[in-house]
Amino acid sequence: MIEYLLLLLGESIMIFGTLGILRFPDVYTRLHAATKCDTGGAMNILIALAIASEASLLIKLKFLVLAFLIALINPMVSHAIARGAYKYGIKPKVVVDMYAWDNP
Amino acid sequence: MSRVPFYLKERLDEIRQRVLYETYEAQKLPKWEQVVLTWIALFSFWIVISGNARIENLFIGGIATLVISLFMYEMLTEDIRQTGHIVEKILYIGLFVIPQYLFIMAFRLIESNFKVAKHAILMDINPGIIKIKTDLHSNTGITILANSITLTPGTLTLDVDKKLGETYLYVHWIDVETLNREVAGEKIKGDIEAWLKKIFW
């Protein structure tokens, strides 16, 4: 029962993340939607699969290792994309930009 | 730092290296504790990844991870702060600190998903880039803090800067509430930093 709830939660999180990517104005706010919703949705779906599948315990543990690796790698990739976009010269649409104050 | 003259910049770098080196040397673990902690982490990872629990598999994995941890003991554990006996430390990290961190981060992640959904529907965003200060100095601790800030609601780490032994984080905040550095740090970091200070220096 609880695995269907987790699957539904993960898929709705993924749908709202896609909506956020389509509607937000620039790179940095789109990265918010991409990073958080991908991490949360993929982890929810993997935990639901680990509960629902009829495999042995060690294979279920491998699903949890995959969820851990996703939670480890996804924020690093988003940081690399955001910093690379800033160094490339894409200006963010913001009200205050303290990074441009300190790196003229 | 870019407006400082060159000779002064060299001198400041030297002072910073000395201060960091002394605090680091005072809080380092002994060598065999580093080897044991690295071996436990690598061996548990071997058991989960290899996927069968027969006795010869465990034996081969134990020997191989012991040899690796004898050579590479500095990579994983050089930032852990020295507190207490090793058994006490292993039990404390494994039973209290890691479940506490997983519990905190799971609820923050669910909350941030709902917050992104709310922002995507209502479009009430007010973005800005804020600079906050943190008390941590070790590389592993700063990495975990920056990744946790990226997963907490409404914030995304843009860059990390170390100046004169102090560490600053540039954070892209999707809904700027305040410009004060202390209040913003309190709102962004939350209890993650207090948690990280129990292990890393």
Could you say which of B21, B54, B77 is where a domain stops?
B77
| Residues 6 or more apart whose Cβ sits within 8 Å of residue B161 | A102, B167, B168, B169, B170
**Which neighbouring-strand residues pair with B131?**
B170
Domain identity same for B68 and B94 = no
Q: Considering its fold, how many domains does chain B have in total?
A: 2
Q: Tell whether B84 is covered by a domain.
A: no
Q: What is the pLDDT of residue A102?
A: 76
- Check residues A84 and B125 and name the one with the higher pLDDT: A84
Domain identity same for B149 and B95 = yes
Domain identity same for B116 and B94 = yes
Reported as a pLDDT band with limits 50, 70 and 90, residue B41 is confident
Domain identity same for B96 and B179 = yes
Domain identity same for B103 and B72 = no
DSSP annotation of B2 reads T
Strands B128-134 and B155-163: unpaired
**Full domain range(s) for residue B97:** 89-198
CA dist B179 and B165 (Å) reads: 23
pTM for the model stands at: 0.80
Q: DSSP alpha helices (H): ranges in B51-180?
A: 55-71, 73-77, 86-92, 98-122, 139-151
Q: Tell whether B113 is covered by a domain.
A: yes
Instruction: Write the CA distances from B119 to A19, A38, B151, integer angstroms.
Output: 10, 16, 16
Domain identity same for B164 and B95 = yes
Answer yes or no: do B129 and A97 touch at CB < 8 A: yes
Comparing CB atoms, the residue among A43, A61, A104 nearest residue B48 is A61
Q: What is the pLDDT of residue B156?
A: 86
Is residue B141 within 8 A of residue B196, CB to CB? The reply is yes
3-class state of residue B129 by DSSP: strand
Q: Tell whether B147 is covered by a domain.
A: yes
Q: What is the pLDDT of residue B191?
A: 81
List CB contacts (< 8 A) between B158 and chain A. 28, 79, 82-83, 86, 99
Q: Tell whether B83 is covered by a domain.
A: no
Comparing CB atoms, the residue among B127, B154, B176 nearest residue A93 is B127
Reported as a pLDDT band with limits 50, 70 and 90, residue B22 is confident
| Residues 6 or more apart whose Cβ sits within 8 Å of residue B87 | none
Domain identity same for B110 and B166 = yes
3-class state of residue B22 by DSSP: helix
CA dist B14 and A47 (Å) reads: 49
Q: What is the pLDDT of residue A64?
A: 85
Comparing CB atoms, the residue among B105, B156, B159 nearest residue A99 is B159
In the block, residue with structure tokens 């949360």: A40
Across B69-76, average pLDDT: 80
DSSP annotation of A1 reads -
Across B54-60, average pLDDT: 86
Domain identity same for B10 and B99 = no
Instruction: Write the CA distances from A25 to A36, B34, B153, integer angstroms.
Output: 17, 48, 19
In the block, residue with structure tokens 């906050």: B132
| Residues 6 or more apart whose Cβ sits within 8 Å of residue B43 | B61, B62, B65
Size of the A and B interface in Cβ pairs below 8 Å: 129
Residue B117 pLDDT exceeds 60: yes
Answer yes or no: do A31 and B146 touch at CB < 8 A: no
Across B131-157, average pLDDT: 84
Amino acid at B64: A
Max intra-chain CA distance, chain B: 64
Domain identity same for B61 and B118 = no
pLDDT tens track for A16-68: 888 888 888 888 888 888 888 888 888 889 888 888 888 778 788 888 888 88
Mean pLDDT over the full length of chain B: 81
**Which of B156, B164, B167, B169 to mutate to probe the A interface, most A CBs <10 Å?**
B156
Q: Tell whether B130 is covered by a domain.
A: yes
Q: What is the pLDDT of residue A51?
A: 87
